[in-house]
Chains A and B, each alone.
Chain A
Amino acid sequence: MTIERNPGFDLNLDWLESIQVNKSAIERRAASLGTRRSVKKQHQTAWLLKAITLIDLTTLAGDDTELRVKRLCAKAKNPIRHDLVAALGIEDMHLTTGAVCVYHDMLSTAAKALEGTDIHLAAVSTGFPAGLTPLHLKLEEIKESVKAGADEIDIVITRKHVFAENWQALYDEVKAYRQACGEAHMKTILATGEISTLRNVAKASMVCMLAGADFIKTSTGKESVNATLPVSLAMIRQIREFYVRTGYKVGYKPAGGISKAKDALVYLSMMKEELGDDWLQADLFRFGASSLLGDIERQLEHQVSGHYSAAHRHAIA
């Protein structure tokens, strides 16, 4: 499946004005997502394998080193223990994670480590996580990262524009980032834990899509509240709205806080129910996660062996 890239559109304030989000209703829907759908046995196995291919395996810590990032890339290339792959009979699928996501400084190491694979390389950018560095530096940062081998750029929006409801400023900023990205795909991080209300989240989502986002993403992972189901619903319903209005499909990336295989299944069924099967593929859906993979592996071993597994039996990233 190839997705035609969102070219971006003029800022349409009418569309923004028509956005309504009822928090309680969204929470009720979020609460019933996991109880309305249940995926069991080999279906669960297949869904968990799918989830692996959607992971942006991430390290974004001040103490990251080249050797640490190499280890992460090794895990991205071989996300499942060899004997489990054999037992599942999926050697020929050559499953990997969807991407590796690092700071700019680690790009060259990661690019080398991922050479010859289909794994995307994402860099967080634009003064991540706060995004309050000067604009021209942020634009330079994007260009540098693209040059260094990133084919995906995760930018952060300037939150104060949301609080001021200065949608024009937000639009202009994101549009400039998109131009700086060039061929690289742009994920726009809204920092949903900071912009707080679902109404803000929904409106910022729409502005970013109009400005040319390829993905909208919840969080930096550094806020105290990261991806949640209600926030996800508020965002993906805007993706649906954008698709209905423009015909372009924009991707979604919840980041931070998704660490259990069970949660991943709920997210997948949410995407399937609210947006459709196209949004179950890596070009339209990613998990920004670091510990999720380990839990999925434990579940896969359980499916294969019938016994509950332990974390130390699976390679760390």
Chain B
Amino acid sequence: MTTINIKDIFNNMDYGKAPESPAPALEWLAQQNNKMSHFIGGDWHAGKDHFDSTNPATGECLAKVAQADENTVNLAVKAAQKALPKWQALSGHERGEYLYAIARLIQKNTRLFAVLETLDNGKPIRESRDIDVPLAIRHFYHHAGWAQLIESELPNHQAIGVVGQIIPWNFPLLMLAWKVAPALATGNTIVIKPAEFTSLTALLFAEICQQAGLPKGVLNVVTGDGSTGQHIVQHPEIKKIAFTGSTAVGRWIRQATAGSGKKLSLELGGKSAFIVCADADLDAAVEGVVDAIWFNQGQVCCAGSRLLVQEAVAERFHKKLIDRMHKLRIGDPLDKSIDMGAIIDPRQQQKIATLVQAGVDAGASLNQSTADLPKVGCFYPPTLLTDVSPSDQVVQDEIFGPVLVSMTFRTPSEAVALANNSRYGLAASIWSENINMAMHLTPLVQAGIVWINCTNMMDAAAGFGGVKESGFGREGGKEGLYEYLQLKTNSANQTKAPAAKQPAKIIEPVPGMDKTPKMYIGGKQVRPDGGYSYPILNNKGQLITHAGLGNRKDVRNAVEAAANSPTWAQMNAYQRQQVMYFMAENLSYRKAEFAERLVASGHSKKQAETEVQTSIQRLSYYAAWCDKYDGQIHSVPLRGVAMAMHEPIGVIAIQCPDEAPLLSFISLLAPALAMGNRVVMTASTAFPLAALDFYQVLNTSDVPAGTVNILSGNQAELTKPLAGHMNVDAMWSFGADAELVEHESATNLKRTWTHSNRKDWLNANQGQGVEFLRQATQVKNIWTPYGE
């Protein structure tokens, strides 16, 4: 050490370098001859073609990674299928032991994982060491516990089978853990594909699984680019796809799997709001922004990338933020004193630069760190764009880089309006020292996760996932387990109800039935937009009456009525319950009338009476549930609470089946209403009368206008506009074309619940239950650290 140096440092107090050694990770790569294989059926399979995996901080090639083709994917799926029976035959405790062993082994190799991750991805070693790897370990420990508890805590559920998992490059090991741990705990076997930029820690993980003695074929890792992903998505023997990545690819996966019966969970893009109220601890919020958008170079799906600051403090806050931004250290990701490392790839860097330039061209003010960036490697400075507005591309599009856009708001309602003015809905962060303000905004922001006075908090015990075009499904928490489970009744115990008989042709009208049922939109009876009606026959083929032939404009009107009618969602559970009991009561007054309708359609008197009586019971059943389908408080490691709240999905379009036309209508309407949704129901094409008559009950039961909208017509024609409607948040379809519904749902990534098997609606095990409530809700996880 030179003395001059010490004196210089004493005077300038620089940090100097604190490099973590890459040697052990490079040695591990050298042991593989810097040429990686696939991990299939417990063995290493050398690939034919290879591509370079580079270190984004230096541009150097770390290893050659194999490109899996269709045959390789087939091999992996076969191995997973072969391993499935024995893996599922294990007790939960036994499966848990493997997960526990994996957690322990990652823990024994934490530094190797962290360094390898940083080399491959470019993220600061502090993050891979302190965040990615510990959270991954935590995920395996947590799910080791679930493996043991599932049998008792989630009875009537079983594994899905072989699952395909496709993970992104921003948190390679962590996203692997989020996917693999719950899938293994629930008894599935896996084919997983890491992102092509970052395959290395997944392969090190495979080695760990070998050491843990995980049975061959339970976990298979295939590497490759998007084409490998396509083979996984389209493989007929894969029963579930779990994907984290861009919304564009998620949309493609939704379309590609439409009608395949594959279960799907998508964790996609975001443009999450970061709301700073005037009474926030502004210094704390500034650090929050650092953790929100300058964490992992902003390449975080839930990054708080849209700053919304209350006008009163906007100037002060921006100044504090810019000062803080200039303190960030950017450079060698292996340096322990670095805040921001390298962008994943030059193409991503270029994309960021182009978007920022577009923002500046559109009038945004550019505030950017002036820190020296390394001469080599792929770096982009921390950036804040002010003077932007909701119409700017930089405000609307996910940039996936260290770029924050900032707007101001005047009132809480304006904050909500700006926050929700997005196709995405992954997360939101709310900063206020006023509990009333924070808890007021929380349910109003459309997001799967809300962080109050904190940001980017994650834990295995809490669900993670979004709403709107940020995808669906949850990872972590009890809610995440459902993504890898199915009801036992779905496969084995499904009784097929007899198909409703379709009338053949009109024979003759039934005398005395001249009532013309109309459609019901926005609380009013309306005639079909097209001005056409179609004949309704009984099961003998006799004309009973005519019903309106709805078209896409009726769909438009009904959805608009539902979307613009917030009252039902704003009512509390007790109020909704009162209305639903009232509906049951009013239906019971009209018992005879509804039974008569059913008889006219061909039911026997006894059948008709049973169906009406069961419908009344079902309304009461869901009225009872209104105030009892409670959320959870998750046990996350935090002085605070993580609340998993059940929220309504919004507008649900429901296609009713032909069988049990009144009961099936009620069985689908009631759970949706109980949870606070608004609905657009399309009545059975053949037997619409019970549904259309029901408006009379609605009208007399204080149901706010627009809450329930009922269309009639040819369901096949109504399906496409409904499934493709971007203001419909979910679609349940029974008997209709599942493929079309799922394909069209990709427009706005609405949730779908499709059924190929008919249900026996009279059977309570099939026609009602908590599963219906689960479909009618989504979980919002609200993190609230506290302390004074």
Which one of A20, A25, A43, A49 contacts B287 once the chains associate, using CB atoms below 8 Å? A25
* Inter-subunit contact B6/A88 (CB<8 Å): yes
* Inter-subunit contact B279/A20 (CB<8 Å): yes
Give the size of the chain B interface in residues (CB under 8 angstroms): 40
> Beyond A36-B339, A42-B9, A197-B788, is A22–B281 a contact (Cβ under 8 Å)?
yes
The answer to whether the Cβ of B639 comes within 8 Å of any Cβ in the partner chain is yes
Q: How far is the CB of B598 from chain A (nearest CB, A)?
A: 59
The answer to whether the Cβ of A12 comes within 8 Å of any Cβ in the partner chain is no
Complexed CA–CA distance, A90 and B3 (Å): 7
Of A28, A38, A45, A89, chain B has the most CB atoms within 10 Å of the CB of: A38
- Chain B window 5-29, contacts with chain A (Cβ cutoff 8 Å), 1 for yes, 0 for no: 1111110111111100000000000
* Inter-subunit contact B6/A49 (CB<8 Å): yes
* Inter-subunit contact B337/A23 (CB<8 Å): no
The answer to whether the Cβ of A39 comes within 8 Å of any Cβ in the partner chain is yes
Residues of B within 8 A of A199 (CB): 788
Nearest to B1 among chain A residues (CB) is: A42
Our count of residue pairs bridging A and B at CB distance below 8 angstroms stands at 108
Nearest to B277 among chain A residues (CB) is: A20
Residues of B within 8 A of A42 (CB): 1-2, 5-6, 9, 16
Residues of B within 8 A of A27 (CB): 787
- Chain B window 164-208, contacts with chain A (Cβ cutoff 8 Å), 1 for yes, 0 for no: 000000000000000000000000000000000000000000000
The answer to whether the Cβ of B433 comes within 8 Å of any Cβ in the partner chain is yes
Complexed CA–CA distance, A41 and B5 (Å): 11
* Inter-subunit contact B281/A272 (CB<8 Å): no
* Inter-subunit contact B17/A40 (CB<8 Å): yes
The answer to whether the Cβ of B282 comes within 8 Å of any Cβ in the partner chain is yes
The answer to whether the Cβ of B454 comes within 8 Å of any Cβ in the partner chain is yes
- Chain A window 22-65, contacts with chain B (Cβ cutoff 8 Å), 1 for yes, 0 for no: 11111111001001111111110111011000000000000000
Q: How far is the CB of A92 from chain B (nearest CB, A)?
A: 9
Residues of A within 8 A of B279 (CB): 20
The answer to whether the Cβ of A280 comes within 8 Å of any Cβ in the partner chain is yes
Nearest to A268 among chain B residues (CB) is: B13
* Inter-subunit contact B337/A38 (CB<8 Å): yes
The answer to whether the Cβ of B288 comes within 8 Å of any Cβ in the partner chain is yes
Q: How far is the CB of B161 from chain A (nearest CB, A)?
A: 41
The answer to whether the Cβ of A277 comes within 8 Å of any Cβ in the partner chain is yes
Residues of B within 8 A of A38 (CB): 15, 18, 336-337
Residues of A within 8 A of B2 (CB): 42
* Inter-subunit contact A39/B16 (CB<8 Å): yes
* Inter-subunit contact A28/B280 (CB<8 Å): no
Give the size of the chain A interface in residues (CB under 8 angstroms): 41
Residues of B within 8 A of A20 (CB): 279-282, 284, 433
The answer to whether the Cβ of B785 comes within 8 Å of any Cβ in the partner chain is yes
Complexed CA–CA distance, A90 and B287 (Å): 38
* Inter-subunit contact B6/A24 (CB<8 Å): no
* Inter-subunit contact A47/B3 (CB<8 Å): no
Residues of A within 8 A of B787 (CB): 23-24, 27
Residues of B within 8 A of A25 (CB): 281, 284-285, 287-288, 453-454, 785
> Beyond A29-B284, A41-B1, A43-B16, is A24–B640 a contact (Cβ under 8 Å)?
yes
The answer to whether the Cβ of B750 comes within 8 Å of any Cβ in the partner chain is no
Residues of B within 8 A of A268 (CB): 13
- Chain B window 329-340, contacts with chain A (Cβ cutoff 8 Å), 1 for yes, 0 for no: 000000011010
The answer to whether the Cβ of B283 comes within 8 Å of any Cβ in the partner chain is yes
Nearest to A196 among chain B residues (CB) is: B788
Complexed CA–CA distance, A240 and B286 (Å): 14
* Inter-subunit contact A37/B6 (CB<8 Å): no
The answer to whether the Cβ of A93 comes within 8 Å of any Cβ in the partner chain is yes
The answer to whether the Cβ of A223 comes within 8 Å of any Cβ in the partner chain is no
Residues of B within 8 A of A240 (CB): 283
The answer to whether the Cβ of A237 comes within 8 Å of any Cβ in the partner chain is yes
Which one of B8, B13, B288 contacts A277 once the chains associate, using CB atoms below 8 Å? B13
Complexed CA–CA distance, A43 and B8 (Å): 10
Residues of A within 8 A of B9 (CB): 42-43, 45-47
Q: How far is the CB of A79 from chain B (nearest CB, A)?
A: 14
Complexed CA–CA distance, A219 and B785 (Å): 27
Q: How far is the CB of A130 from chain B (nearest CB, A)?
A: 25
Complexed CA–CA distance, A123 and B12 (Å): 31
- Chain A window 185-216, contacts with chain B (Cβ cutoff 8 Å), 1 for yes, 0 for no: 00000000000011100000000000000000
The answer to whether the Cβ of A21 comes within 8 Å of any Cβ in the partner chain is yes
The answer to whether the Cβ of A273 comes within 8 Å of any Cβ in the partner chain is yes
The answer to whether the Cβ of B262 comes within 8 Å of any Cβ in the partner chain is no
The answer to whether the Cβ of B474 comes within 8 Å of any Cβ in the partner chain is no
Residues of B within 8 A of A272 (CB): 13
8 contacts between A and B (CB under 8 A): A20-B282, A20-B284, A24-B453, A39-B18, A45-B6, A46-B9, A199-B788, A237-B283
Q: 3 closest Cβ contacts across the A-B interface?
A: A89-B3, A25-B284, A43-B16
A21-B281, A28-B785, A38-B337 are known; give 14 further A-B pairs, CB within 8 A.
Answer: A22-B453, A23-B788, A24-B640, A27-B787, A28-B454, A32-B130, A36-B126, A39-B337, A42-B5, A43-B16, A45-B9, A50-B10, A50-B13, A90-B7
